[in-house]
Every structure is written in structure tokens, then in C-alpha cells.
Amino acid sequence: MSRIRLSQDERRRQLLGIGLRMLVEKPIQDLSLDAVAAEAGISRGLLFHYFPTKTDYYDHVVGAALRRVLRNISPDPDAAADVALRQFVERFYAQIERRREFYLALVFGSGAISLGGEGVESHRMTVARRVVDAVALDPASVPVVHGWTAYVEDRALLWSGTPTPERAPLADEVGHCCRALAALLATEVS
């Protein structure tokens, strides 16, 4: 295989893209750096020029995957608060339904991945802050929204794992999740 000369940024993007594509098929801990390097047309040693350690590469791939999830579930930037909340929940459900196994492997995969020491909590906290911003909530509500995010994630995973004919309608699920956040926020204020 002939080597294609790329800039450092282009090569890093290429290596991350290969890792993301492979991550859809297998958990991160099973991703072979030799296979990534071979597909990129470089040596394993050169891969370490771009990512100093195996964990560093894995962290970057998982980080890129989580950023992709965040893009996919984000509401429209100009949406009114109630619409933004519904869009977030609908898109979260759609993301999990479309890539359930990938999401499970990504968020609940091997503990061997450091993710900068933050992992799932970092992902959920990022989602919570985005919901707070999109719905124009008081920043002090982030801890409540963080817990609610885990709740929505769990409901979406249960829903997507249920055979389609037995599932509650998506609109019912979305409505329930939106009402649950309103109830949690009302309890927090009391």
C-alpha cells in the first residue's frame, strides 16, 4: 500500500475518522491500532507520532464520538425553550434508537479508557449544560438537569431495546420526559 502524504491535521482527522468508523463495529478496547495504521497506510510507529499513547488515541476517538452525539441531539439554536426541550428529547431517542449498540459501547464501555478522567459524567454534564442553555434555565439547575439527562438516557435505552410493536409511542415518551423535567425543577424551587 502506498503512503499518501497528508498534513498533520489531515492525518489526525483521518486516523480519528478510521477509529470512529471502527468504533461502530466494535468496542473501543477491541480497536486494533495496527488495523487503524494499516488502513491509513502508515506504520504503527507513525500513528504514535500523532497520538503519543494508545489511551490518548482511544480518548480522542471516544471524544470525537461523544461530540458527534452532542451534535446529533442538539436542538435548533433558534428554537423556543419548549420546542428546544422536545427536540432534545426526540433527537436523543432517535440517536439511541439508530445506534443503540454503539451508544451502549461508547458510554458504558470498558473502564480502561480514561476520557480525561471524566467519562460518562462529563458527557452527561455537557448534555445537561446544553439543555440548560437551550431551554434558558437558571444555571443553578444544572445538577437537576444532569440527573434528568441520565433518566432520559435510561428511558431511551429501555425504549429502543423494546420490540417496536410493544413500544410506547415516541410522542408519549417525549411528553413524559419533558413533564419529568418540569416536575423536577418545580420540586427544586419549592
Give the pLDDT band of residue 113 (cuts 50, 70, 90): very low
Residue 181's nearest CA partner among 125, 132, 123, 120 is 132
Together in a domain, 56 and 138: no
Residue 23 falls inside a structural domain: yes
| Confidence bin at 172 (pLDDT 50/70/90) | very high
Q: Are 189 and 148 in contact (CB under 8 A)?
A: no
Domain annotation covers residue 28: yes
- Do 35 and 26 contact (CB within 8 A), yes or no? no
Together in a domain, 100 and 172: yes
Mean pLDDT computed over every residue of the chain: 88
Q: Classify residue 67: in a domain, yes or no.
A: no
Q: Say which range, 75-79, 82-86, 121-125, 142-146, has the weakest mean pLDDT.
A: 121-125
Segment 171-186 shows an average pLDDT of 97
Residue 27 lies in a domain: yes
Residue 121: the pLDDT is 61
> Has residue 103 got a pLDDT over 90?
no
**Closest by alpha carbon to 14, among 75, 52, 60, 74?**
60
- 24 with 94, same domain: the answer is no
Residues 101, 49 share a domain = no
Average pLDDT over residues 149-163: 95
Is 2 among the domain residues? no
Does 151 lie in the same domain as 106? yes
- Which residue range forms the structural domain that includes residue 86? 76-189
Q: How many domains does the chain have?
A: 2
Distance between CA atoms of residues 145 and 150, nearest Å: 9
> What is the pLDDT, as a whole number, of residue 190?
52
Residue with grid cell 491535521, as numbered in its chain? 9
Q: Say if residue 89 is in the same domain as residue 45.
A: no
Q: Are 26 and 102 members of one domain?
A: no
Statement to judge: residues 44 and 84 lie in one domain: no
| Residue that wins the pLDDT comparison between 31 and 164 | 164
Residues 86 and 131 in one domain: yes
Grid coordinates of 71: 451534535
- Both 80 and 157 in a single domain? yes
Model confidence, pTM: 0.80
Residue corresponding to grid cell 418545580? 186
Spatial separation of the C-alpha atoms in residues 185 and 190, rounded to whole Å:
9
Distance CA 68, CA 23 (A): 13
| pLDDT given at position 19 | 93
**Mean pLDDT along residues 121-148:** 92
Confidence (pLDDT) at 52: 94
pLDDT in tens, 15-66: 999 998 888 777 777 889 999 999 999 999 999 999 999 989 998 998 888 8
Q: Determine the longest span between alpha carbons in the chain, in angstroms.
A: 66
